[in-house]
Amino acid sequence: MGTFPGFLYRQFTFKPKPLPKSLNLSGKTALVTGGNAGLGFEAAKELTSHGLARIILGVRSIAKGEEAKKTLLAMNPQIDVQVWAIDQESFESIKNFADQAASLDRLDIAILNAGVKSMEYVKSKTGHELNVQVNHLGTALLSLLILGPLKKTAAETGSPSRLTIVSSENHFWVKLKEIKGPDTLATMDKPETFGKGMDRYNATKLLNVLWMRELSSKISASDVIMDAVNPGFCQSTLHRTDSSGSSFANLIGWTSAQGGHCLTDAATQHAKDGHGAYVSEQTVKR
């Protein structure tokens, strides 16, 4: 895993599959952050076509979320589609979102997918570097805050809930030298540590995997099965500030729908060996 030739080989030879037709999610509630666009939206579409009772789209733009809701309802009018605001640049917004989640009667599946790829140093609203704030800190905080509702649902239904963090194969391509220093996050906030191109984005995808490993080691798989997923290199608006990345995605990228298949696979399959796992090409990997 993790070499560039290997990455190219997988992009050309692997074709992500949709969920098995037989999968029945009836009665369940799922939540997808960044559910209005790209892979998150495609994952939402797929989950709702398997009998889901309710889906929560976590979005930073309610207008975009409402557009996504219209499409989901046109496909499956019987589903309860809710659009909730979340800005992962704001700890307060994440906390408000989690408070709303705590009021649900059940939460079976959570896909923490919202993310950015900022190729230049940007200080976020919290003062942390933008990729670190949105991809790692925001996702990590939300994962902690929604454990309560996920565990409660598992206790009530007698089957584990699911928590999936969206990482990337790029996490292999980074030497996170900051991790050896005295204060990793404070160091990563300094513009001079930002690195080149996708270095920092890649580092946050490694933080996603490290966080998933640490948190999953503290949770029982009978309560919540937690994993991290590589959705493959896909065409989406993630590459909006990266013109060469965008052209490369047009050339060899999977579609957002195929990336979405990888998200839904990680969040609903691999119940036996998926806890604490990194799932890539819809398979649990080392």
Ligand X SMILES: NC(=O)c1ccc[n+]([C@@H]2O[C@H](COP(=O)([O-])OP(=O)(O)OC[C@H]3O[C@@H](n4cnc5c(N)ncnc54)[C@H](OP(=O)(O)O)[C@@H]3O)[C@@H](O)[C@H]2O)c1
- Nearest Cα neighbor of 193 from 204, 77, 251 is 204
* Shortest spacing between CB 246 and ligand X, in angstroms: 10
How far apart are the C-alpha atoms of 117 and 200, rounded to whole Å?
A: 9
Interface residue with ligand X, options 11, 49, 88, 161 (CB under 6 A)? 88
Interface residue with ligand X, options 163, 238, 262, 266 (CB under 6 A)? 238
Tokens of 28: 């369940």
Q: In this structure, are residues 212 and 276 in contact, taking their beta carbons and an 8 Å threshold?
A: yes
* Shortest spacing between CB 170 and ligand X, in angstroms: 7
How far apart are the C-alpha atoms of 1 and 170, rounded to whole Å?
A: 10
**Number of residues engaging ligand X in binding (CB under 6 A):** 27
How far apart are the C-alpha atoms of 267 and 238, rounded to whole Å?
A: 21
Q: CA 281: distance to chain centroid?
A: 15
- Nearest Cα neighbor of 136 from 210, 213, 86 is 210
Q: Which is nearer to ligand X, 40 or 276 (CB)?
A: 40
From the list 90, 201, 216, 280, the catalytic residue is 201
Tokens of 162: 């699911």
Interface residue with ligand X, options 7, 97, 194, 233 (CB under 6 A)? 233
Interface residue with ligand X, options 45, 50, 54, 60 (CB under 6 A)? 60
Interface residue with ligand X, options 236, 264, 280, 282 (CB under 6 A)? 236
* Shortest spacing between CB 90 and ligand X, in angstroms: 8
Tokens of 151: 């565990």
Interface residue with ligand X, options 143, 161, 168, 264 (CB under 6 A)? 168
Of residues 16 through 55, those in contact with ligand X by CB under 6 A are 34, 36-40
How far apart are the C-alpha atoms of 108 and 28, rounded to whole Å?
A: 6
From the list 28, 69, 151, 205, the catalytic residue is 205
Q: CA 190: distance to chain centroid?
A: 26
Q: Is 121 labeled as catalytic in the residue annotation? A: no
Q: Which is nearer to ligand X, 222 or 250 (CB)?
A: 250
* Shortest spacing between CB 60 and ligand X, in angstroms: 4
Q: Is 205 labeled as catalytic in the residue annotation? A: yes
Tokens of 284: 């649990």
How many other CB atoms are found less than 10 A from the CB of residue 141? 15
Of residues 121 through 140, those in contact with ligand X by CB under 6 A are 134
Catalytic residues: 168, 201, 205
Q: Which residues bind ligand X (CB under 6 A)?
A: 34, 36-40, 60-61, 64, 86-89, 113-116, 134, 166, 168, 231, 233-234, 236-238, 259
